[in-house]
Structure 1
Amino acid sequence: MSSPSSSSRSGPPSAGLSSDTETRPEPHRWSAADLAGPTLIFVGAFLLAVTIALPTLLVGGFRTIPLSTDFTTVATADDATIFDRCSLETRSARTVGADLVRQQRVVAVQPSDEHRVTLQAGTSVQAQALRIDDREVDPGDPRPGVDTDDPAQPCNDATVNAIKDRVTLDRKNALPRLAARGASEIQYDSGQAAVLVPDRRGVTYLLPFDTEPADREFFDAVTRTTVPLVHDGDTEVHGRDVDRFRAEVPDTDLARAALGRPVGTNVSITRPASWFGVGDSSRPLTANLHHRSSWDLAVDPRTGTIVDATITVDEVYRFPDGTPGVPDGFELPQLRATFTYDDDTQTRMTDLAADLASPILIWGRLVPIGTAVLGVVALAAGLILINPAWLPARFRRRRGAETVGGQPE
């Protein structure tokens, strides 16, 4: 028979275990529903940060002159007038009608880096056909004055003129950046050294991204002078809105000593007065080459790309003022032409402008709009999941009913 003391010591074991469990609750574990709200808030904040950063950080790099710059433009001029160099060996000067093509290739070369780019532009004017005595002839055909004994210097070469320009630009403002190994040099004759231009200012082959409709400066490579580039309204080229700019290069004596133009570029002609047609005298006279031009440029303002251009060139030989025996107003044309971009060039340059603008549009506008919308939605969803009291009343009632209905009885 058991004693009372032993009976009291051997109470039901289950009662003791239950008491210990109630005093030590199990640790709380985060469920997927608990983490959904904070995760959405984090994602929303990240997307809003991306929205702010894209236009300021990433897109800024797209608004600079590309290091891959490489484009070619072709402009034509019908019914132009050029000086026939073969007439230098005849008894009188001669000018002929011509159909001309002006071709220019602009390509990025070294030195170039994240802040600057060096562009090399080769420009040539070629005669496609000549009109002599009402006949159309090939520029390479023999004609009076051709020296068959000196084929190395043919006067019937189709090239009217050609220059090579090399300049280092700031990639953001498209202006010359000549300090710290920058370059600005122009070569007018393949047999002569290039001419340095240390004081170069103004734009030439392209304008900066986000070009404002305001006046600026233009550099003319032929005369090596800087002139105003005046905003002249807006227009449309191949469905693209563009700004018009106009530059006037005044009459410039290319033979003047201050220009420093290299020898051998036909900047002056010395021949008897009878050759010029100013009398029958054999007295030698010297005429200097004068140049003036006008530039009408159509510029895509978003990328600074010149998508269309009309270039009027008037080059003539004239005698210095006060030359005896020379009638007033005498001029011997060297090149008189109006060049306009052909349709293929307009299409190619508008396509180039669109390609340069596409990353800016995508990453600077479309993507930020998308990330901003998604970020706001994610933030709102996260906050609602954290605090369901922010839900509208009808949604709270519905959610409460679903919760009660889902509890086990």
Structure 2
Amino acid sequence: MTSHSPRGSKTRLALPAIFFGLGAFLITLALMLVFAVVPSQKVTPLDLDSLTITEEAPANLLVGANFAAGEPTPGNAEREECRPPSPEEEGEGEDAEAPAEGEGEEAQPEEAPEDAPLPMSCFMEAGVPTVAQRQVYAVEPGDKDTVTFQASQSVLRQDRLDEGDEEGALVQATKDRVTMDRKTAEPIEGNNGSVELVDAETTGEAPAEFHREGLQYKWPFDPKEEDYDYFDASTFTTNPIHFVEESEVDGVPVNVYRQEVGPINMYDSIAAHFQAINPGFSQAVNSILASYRISGTAGAWGLDGDPNREVRMNRFYTNERTISVSKSTGQILKGREDQFQFFAEDQGAADEFFADKAAVEQEKQQPTRTAFSYVGAWDQPTIDRAVERSQESDSRVTLYGRTLPISLGIIGLLFIVGGFFVTRRKN
């Protein structure tokens, strides 16, 4: 009669249990990676730090320092209409012989007043080599649900930078701060951001935080092929940005979104913003607003009608923005802005002017009412860095959401099948 040791029986019973247990554990671990770990990876990182630089491109701009001093820019100094009258041209010397009475009266044109302002075009420069740069980095507060970004953005004259004049190179700048949800990339509820405006002559900052809506520096993971709201820090307005197509950036699949904004009255929008968050403008805010509304004569602005008519010109903002967003990580991989800021008397005049494409093109060739005109597209090193960051993030998600779960799931199934095989053999 054959006898079985208790120890051998327990071993034979334990082996299938071990196989089943390991298989179940590995499959459970795979599911945890998919449903628990991956969602924790699909959030905006707390240590983000990115630099965006555009390709050098020509810009047209109103040089505020020259306008304030009443001095034409160096590029306009030799234009006849920009030269102040010389003493000889202003009048005749004491020893000059006076013309006979009535002599040459009909041939003399009507003289402009001695204090007639120079045309505004004398203070505008065309074809200025320009670059834009933006540094976006995470700051406090931030936690498992929210992250705060600070973005320092500036537009710089490359010709002044080449001369070592960093201070004189600044055209305009903003310092933007926003706290947003790490999953949706949308600003959180309540007061969630502030914007400081800076230009070449004036500086000032928002006296308090305010509530804003719309995406800006990042899309959510797995962005949808639909329209989103987008916040514009130049005008403090939120406008739709539209999905237009799928494409690729250096082999990475992207969604392309495009937005056309304006004309927006910058004085009205910025004044309304500051008034809403802190009634009563500070000196800093007033200095900022001064560059968005300029009084003068119709003749100085090249407007039709009586050249001596007093006009108050408002600065209007337009922008055609194109953004390419990774279809997996939601990171912006490529950006382009065609920005045009110009002066007009009111909204109706601005809409009429901007709708006349021939007039706009003529203005871009020979500026007479331009505040700033520039097409900025990300340079290739910026695109390369953005693609690399996106691929690193996508690799982590792929590792935890696909590679490891599939591998662990297959191994777990093999253990379970092995457990059934061992059980059948023993039976």
Structures share fold, TM-score greater than 0.5: yes
User: Contact conserved, 2:192 with 2:212, CA < 8 A, in 1?
Assistant: no
Per mean C-alpha deviation after superposition, the further-off stretch among 327-336 and 246-255 is 327-336
Paired residue for 2:138?
108
**Distance (whole Å) between structure 2 residues aligned to residue 35 and residue 242 of structure 1:** 52
Percent identity over the alignment?
A: 26
1:350 Cα deviation (Å)?
0.7
The 3-state SS of whatever aligns with 1:168 is strand
Paired residue for 1:43?
22
CA shift in 2, pair 1:46/1:322, >3 Å: closer
Aligned amino acid, residue 304 of structure 1? G
Paired residue for 1:366?
403
User: Does 2:383 match 1:346?
Assistant: yes
CA shift in 2, pair 1:320/1:212, >3 Å: closer
**Distance (whole Å) between structure 2 residues aligned to residue 230 and residue 29 of structure 1:** 71
Q: Which of 144, 149, 170 lines up with 2:181 in the alignment?
A: 170
**Distance (whole Å) between structure 2 residues aligned to residue 38 and residue 187 of structure 1:** 66
Per mean C-alpha deviation after superposition, the further-off stretch among 283-292 and 97-106 is 283-292
Paired residue for 2:371?
334
Paired residue for 1:134?
none
TM-score scaled to structure 2, two decimals? Answer: 0.73
The 3-state SS of whatever aligns with 2:214 is coil
User: Does 2:410 match 1:379?
Assistant: no
Paired residue for 1:263?
286
1:225 Cα deviation (Å)?
0.9
- Aligned positions, number: 344
1:47-74 CA-to-partner distances (Å, cap 9, x unmatched) read 1111111111011111011111111111
Paired residue for 2:101?
none
User: Does 2:318 match 1:292?
Assistant: yes
1:27 Cα deviation (Å)?
4.4
User: Contact conserved, 1:37 with 1:385, CA < 8 A, in 2?
Assistant: yes
CA shift in 2, pair 1:215/1:25, >3 Å: closer
Aligned amino acid, residue 217 of structure 1? D
Aligned amino acid, residue 164 of structure 1? K
Larger Rg: 1
Paired residue for 1:193?
205
Q: Unpaired segments of 5 or more residues in structure 1? A: 1-21, 131-136, 142-153, 391-409
1:301-349 CA-to-partner distances (Å, cap 9, x unmatched) read 11111100110101012223799xxx99896101111110101011110
1:254-283 CA-to-partner distances (Å, cap 9, x unmatched) read 112424382222112234555434589677
**Distance (whole Å) between structure 1 residues aligned to residue 19 and residue 407 of structure 2:** 16
Q: Which of 303, 309, 316 lines up with 2:342 in the alignment?
A: 316
1:380 Cα deviation (Å)?
0.8
User: Contact conserved, 1:73 with 1:103, CA < 8 A, in 2?
Assistant: yes
User: Does 2:52 match 1:73?
Assistant: yes
Paired residue for 1:210?
222
Paired residue for 1:120?
150
Aligned amino acid, residue 251 of structure 2? G
Q: Which of 22, 27, 42 lines up with 1:63 in the alignment?
A: 42
Q: Which of 242, 245, 248 lines up with 1:230 in the alignment?
A: 242
1:292 Cα deviation (Å)?
1.1
**Distance (whole Å) between structure 2 residues aligned to residue 159 and residue 275 of structure 1:** 26
User: Contact conserved, 1:38 with 1:386, CA < 8 A, in 2?
Assistant: no
TM-score scaled to structure 1, two decimals? Answer: 0.76
**Distance (whole Å) between structure 1 residues aligned to residue 163 and residue 316 of structure 2:** 24
1:204 Cα deviation (Å)?
0.8
1:384 Cα deviation (Å)?
1.3
1:203-248 CA-to-partner distances (Å, cap 9, x unmatched) read 0111001111111111111111111111100111111111100112
CA shift in 2, pair 1:246/1:340, >3 Å: same
User: Does 2:259 match 1:247?
Assistant: yes
- Give the superposed CA RMSD: 3.0
The 3-state SS of whatever aligns with 1:383 is helix
**Distance (whole Å) between structure 2 residues aligned to residue 193 and residue 207 of structure 1:** 27
CA shift in 2, pair 1:271/1:34, >3 Å: same
Paired residue for 1:15?
none
Q: Determine which structure has greater relative contact order: mean sequence separation of CA pairs < 8 Å that are 6+ residues apart, divided by chain length.
A: 2
1:169 Cα deviation (Å)?
0.4
User: Contact conserved, 1:139 with 1:158, CA < 8 A, in 2?
Assistant: no
Aligned amino acid, residue 243 of structure 1? N
User: Contact conserved, 1:206 with 1:306, CA < 8 A, in 2?
Assistant: yes
**Distance (whole Å) between structure 2 residues aligned to residue 108 and residue 32 of structure 1:** 57
Per mean C-alpha deviation after superposition, the further-off stretch among 227-236 and 313-322 is 313-322
**Distance (whole Å) between structure 2 residues aligned to residue 165 and residue 381 of structure 1:** 60
The 3-state SS of whatever aligns with 1:76 is coil
User: Contact conserved, 2:265 with 2:347, CA < 8 A, in 1?
Assistant: no
User: Contact conserved, 2:206 with 2:274, CA < 8 A, in 1?
Assistant: no
Aligned amino acid, residue 243 of structure 2? H
Paired residue for 1:17?
none
Aligned amino acid, residue 82 of structure 1? L
The 3-state SS of whatever aligns with 2:156 is strand
CA shift in 2, pair 1:309/1:290, >3 Å: same
Q: Please state which structure has a larger fraction of its residues in helix.
A: 2
